[in-house]
Amino acid sequence: MANIKDIARLAGVSVATVSRVLNDHPYVSEAKRAAVQEVVQRLNYSRNVNAVHLITGKTNMVGVVIPYLNLPYFNSIMEGIAQEALEANVHLLVSQTNYAADKETELLNMLKIKQIDGLLICSRSLKWEVIEAYSQFGPIIACEYIESDRISSVHIDHYGSFRLAMQLLLEKGHTRIGYCLGRGHSFNSRNRRRAFSDALSSAGVPVREEWMFYQIYSIEDGAEVVRSILDMEERPTALLVAGDQVAAGIISEAVKNGLRVPEDLAIVSFDNHPIAQLFDITTIDNRLVEIGRTAFSLLLKRLQDPASPVEHRELPFRLIERATV
């Protein structure tokens, strides 16, 4: 492969001049510029970016820590990130972590050694204190709520959205309410749980542990929840479901078993995925794609101006009333 020296020799100029031409620097005579460009064309030359990375300390790549690419929640966020990255001409080093801490550490380390210019974290296992320590090496943006003066974040108010959903159900007279979440111990989940129990207690209703389901991710998981409910002596009359996909699984299985929705089982779901429309599910739009877009643009801003401040943006959620409440 030809290198910059070859080009310089063939064009009859110095490597510095070639570099200037390559980087669109001023102070190069038209004649030499043309000569260089001709040789570049003729040899079909491309710069070795690894050398460029080494010397500039930048890579035009940002890392993305994402637990599961195929879960609708994360897929939507990723979609937003990818859209903006395409636009900004920045490359994405995507690491599907399955929540493995060592995978997260790996990307953090890449930031430290400048293999990536910045890092987007959709969700993580590592503690924020650990992650914060890496912010000295480059901007880090979180797609969840975090109080930090070193890591920017974009999030929606999961507490608020869960309270809204609860209010909807309580107003309809429901008191036997359960919920389905993914990870039970995440920050978001804890918030949701808190909203859930706050709403219940302000209505003077006790929390029923047996109606709280965790590790519910898929359509099949949703069906499973319905089967558990059917076996109960006392069943919940309403369910908050984190994820439309799961809600669809629940509704489908419920109907199959003679339960009417919403009469026997009301559902409020989250995310406003296309499938929610299909099943006419009342859902709260969490603006997931927008979260991804915003996260990326926050990152870009800090990349372009490292002095720009750490920001925390809360995106408004939005209730979509349909037929399951």
Mention every residue, 6+ apart, whose C-beta is less than 8 A from residue 274: none
Q: Where are the alpha helices (DSSP H) in the chain?
A: 4-11, 15-22, 30-43, 49-56, 72-88, 101-112, 128-132, 158-171, 187-202, 219-230, 244-256, 274-278, 288-304
Using CB under 7 A as the binding rule, whether residue 15 contacts DNA is answered as: yes
Name the segment binding DNA (CB under 7 A); options: 25-33, 157-165, 176-184, 233-241. 25-33
CA-to-CA dists, residue 23 to 2, 20, 85, 161, 176, angstroms: 18, 5, 22, 49, 66
Of the residues 6, 79, 157, 224, which one makes contact with a copy of itself according to CB under 8 A: 79
Of the residues 16, 86, 101, 230, which one makes contact with a copy of itself according to CB under 8 A: 86
CB of 238 to a copy of itself, least distance (A): 21
Q: 234-293: which residues touch a copy of itself (CB under 8 A)?
A: 245, 248-249, 252, 274-275, 277-278
Using CB under 7 A as the binding rule, whether residue 3 contacts DNA is answered as: yes
CB of 128 to a copy of itself, least distance (A): 19
Whether the CB-CB separation of 178 and 208 falls below 8 Å is answered with yes
CA angle at 291 for the pair 198 and 144, rounded to the nearest 5°: 45
Of the residues 38, 42, 51, 320, which one makes contact with DNA according to CB under 7 A: 51
Of the residues 219, 310, 315, 319, which one makes contact with a copy of itself according to CB under 8 A: 219
The item of a copy of itself, DNA, none sharing an interface with residue 5, based on CB under 5 to 8 Å by kind, is DNA
Q: Which residues pair with 254 in a beta bridge?
A: none
DSSP label of 173: T
CA-to-CA dists, residue 91 to 83, 94, 115, 119, 136, angstroms: 11, 9, 12, 12, 21
Phi then psi for residue 98, to 5 deg, are 50, 25
CB of 212 to a copy of itself, least distance (A): 24
CB of 44 to a copy of itself, least distance (A): 9
CA-to-CA dists, residue 137 to 113, 134, 140, angstroms: 8, 6, 9
The item of a copy of itself, DNA, none sharing an interface with residue 308, based on CB under 5 to 8 Å by kind, is none
Binding letters toward a copy of itself, positions 98-117, x by CB under 8 A: x-x--x-----xx-xxxx--
Rounded to whole angstroms, the Cα distance separating 117 from 134 reads 12
The two three-digit tokens of residue 47, written as one number: 């710069």
CB of 46 to DNA, least distance (A): 7
Using CB under 8 A as the binding rule, whether residue 61 contacts a copy of itself is answered as: yes
DSSP-assigned states of every residue in 182-233: S-SSSHHHHHHHHHHHHHHHHTT----GGGEE-S--SHHHHHHHHHHHHT-S
Of the residues 9, 34, 38, 48, which one makes contact with DNA according to CB under 7 A: 48
Using CB under 7 A as the binding rule, whether residue 47 contacts DNA is answered as: yes
Q: Which is nearer to DNA, 23 or 41 (CB)?
A: 23
Whether the CB-CB separation of 266 and 169 falls below 8 Å is answered with yes
Q: Which residues pair with 177 in a beta bridge?
A: 238
The item of a copy of itself, DNA, none sharing an interface with residue 3, based on CB under 5 to 8 Å by kind, is DNA
Whether the CB-CB separation of 266 and 324 falls below 8 Å is answered with yes
Note the residues at the interface with a copy of itself (CB under 8 A): 1, 46-51, 53-54, 57, 59, 61, 69-70, 75-76, 78-79, 82-83, 85-86, 91-98, 100, 103, 109-110, 112-115, 218-220, 245, 248-249, 252, 274-275, 277-278
Question: What residue ranges bind DNA (CB under 7 A)?
Answer: 1, 3-5, 12-20, 22-23, 26-29, 31-33, 47-48, 51-52, 54-56
